[in-house]
Amino acid sequence: MTLEGWDYPQDAVRQLHTLSDLLAAEVQPSAVLLLGSAARGELAYAELGGRLEVFSDYEFLVVTGRRLPARQRQRVAERLAGLEREFGQRNPLFHIDVIFRERHRLRTLPRIIFTYELKANGQVLHGEAVRQLLPEVTLANLDLRNTNEILIKRLWAILLHTPRRLLYGPLTHLEEMVWGYVLCRNALDLTTVLLPHCGVLLPSYGQRVKHLAEHYGQLGLASRFGEELPAFLTACLQERQSLHFSESLPHRYAKVVNHVAAALRFLCLFNERPISRGEWANLARLSLQYAKASGPLAAGRWLRSPKKGVTAAGLLAMHRALIAHQAGQDDEAAEQLALSTRLLGRIAIAPLVSLEGDFATRWLAQRRAWGDFWRAHVRLGDPKYRQRFDFVTEWQDG
């Protein structure tokens, strides 16, 4: 069976249509669109023990005539959670993600990479063709600072999905597949971020990697990233799909982190000020919390601090600590972990607990502290995010 030309396993196609039918029946929307890797033809999956294992999200946009009542949203979420359990995925990467948007608000979507990819790749599985209602996103109006923030999110995604067992011993086969996929998938967003700065806007990883490989000499990136970047990203693209990896995962991990660090140095531009009403409201809420805990002067200093740049540096330090630990460089690992703790202390609202125990215990505790920060600052206090964080970070195969 195919889905708009993509040759996916029958079980995956059945699952996608089951989800689309459920959303159509529960919400009666104007349209249900498939987004993300499944819509681009880049769904990652494998057959394990005779069962389909999907290593990507199933992502949907549900277009409604009006804002759905909270009770109806909750009922839909419960039905989707039931299907997620029924699909029986063993890995922590699989997730069903649904965005609800009123039809009249499609034209007001921000000019960011998400909107560009939605308009270019979104597949209508139910209802009317609504992609023409979306705004045009071009190199002339793309929010480049928002695009740069993708690098911070990739650093967080790698940190979030690092298997616990990596701190204690060898991974199982499934854990290696998960970890390898995480490294390859997040490395590919280097093309998402860098190419627009080189005058190129393309809607899929395959197209971006192909363009970078064919035109690398003309893009002016070799002096910053070395000659190996095209081959490295080509391998990441292929191995994200095959889930067979051509080099040791610790080596791949170090390469990904080094390339992301080079990209951050290359760009150095973030939206330090909020860019949406939700972000402004969240900043005000956090500022009041900070003032209550530390006083108005400290809250004022916190408001002026470059939180996104500090976040990037702190997450890099977390990764460098683990890379050094894996290489047996204990002093460097301890130093980087301490640096990450200091940086988080500059931007977090809640007071940090002192880290004790061996390196693995301290690193995992520090990851949890970063999770608290991420939930408060990036996920705008979403109460459901703690449950997702706990599930992903505690997951172990078997």
d(CA 259, CA 268) in angstroms, rounded, equals 14
Please report which helix (H) or strand (E) contains residue 127, including its range: strand 123-127
Percent of the chain with pLDDT strictly greater than 90? 78
To the nearest 10°, report the CA torsion of 72, 134, 97, 126: 70
Res 5: pLDDT:
66
d(CA 318, CA 311) in angstroms, rounded, equals 11
Residue 276 pLDDT level (bands cut at 50, 70, 90): confident
Quick check: 116 pLDDT over 80?
yes
Structural domains for the chain: 2-133 (3.30.460.10), 144-270+306-394 (no CATH)
What pairing do the DSSP bridges indicate for beta strands 31-35 and 123-127? antiparallel
Write out pLDDT tens, residues 91-114: 999 999 999 999 999 999 999 999
Quick check: 270 pLDDT over 80?
no
Write out pLDDT tens, residues 292-342: 877 888 888 878 778 888 899 999 999 999 999 999 999 999 999 999 999
Residue 364 pLDDT level (bands cut at 50, 70, 90): very high
Burial of 83 (0-12, 13-18, 19+ CB in 10 A): middle
Single out the residue of 342, 339, 293, 295 nearest to residue 319, CA to CA: 339
Higher-scoring residue by pLDDT: 347, 335: 335
Written as one string, the DSSP assignment of 79-93 is HHHHHHHHHT--SSS
Alpha helices, DSSP H, located in 295-384 = 296-304, 307-326, 330-347, 359-377
Write out pLDDT tens, residues 241-251: 999 999 999 99
d(CA 384, CA 393) in angstroms, rounded, equals 15
Helix axes 307-326, 150-160, angle to 10 degrees: 40
Res 354: pLDDT:
74
